[in-house]
Amino acid sequence: SLPDAPSKLAISDDAQAILIADGTGMVYAVSGSTTPAPLYRSSQVGVLVFVSNSHEAIVGDPAQGTTAVVETSTSASGVKMFAPPSSGGCQPQAAASTADGKTVLLACPAQHFITSLDRASGVTNTYKINGSPSAFDATGAKDTFLMSPAENGIYWLFTWRPDGPVISFIAAPRHSD
């Protein structure tokens, strides 16, 4: 049976892999023909998203400040990469990967920065930004996301480049007089 109180849902790009997280920090792999299988556990699942064009998932724990990349296929399930708490204290609230899946991007709204994690080398970089990114919404353009801060409604376009992000102002709420 499915978890009693699902808190997050992720579906792979090919719609062949589905993950559900519950309120206890457990992530389950869901298959149409079997019972949901426990896949990963953390203290809190604040981020649950698939790496582009893969069955690997990014699981972020804002309470612990950790991020894991987890293989979700039943034959090779397990943690492929684990990023311990960073010196900057990122409490990830959103994540995305580049189109090639080589870089994981973490939104850290409480700290006002974005962290990039190179999956091949394990190198992380932190980019201080104005605002508090709480979401990375795909735009359809390669490695470009709508960065949506929750608190003030100002939207930014975030484009990832290996030498660092380019962030552009998009829109702010209209105030009436």
56 contact partners, CB below 8 Å, separation of at least 6: 50, 69, 70, 71, 72, 80, 101
Per the CB < 8 A criterion, the answer to whether 58 and 71 are in contact is: no
Q: Find the range with the poorest average confidence among 57-66, 71-80, 128-137, 164-173.
A: 71-80
What is the tens place of the pLDDT at every residue in 141-172? Answer: 999 998 876 566 778 888 999 888 998 888 77
Per the CB < 8 A criterion, the answer to whether 135 and 146 are in contact is: yes
User: Residue 129 has which token pair?
Assistant: 């930004």
Q: What pTM was estimated for this model as a whole? A: 0.85
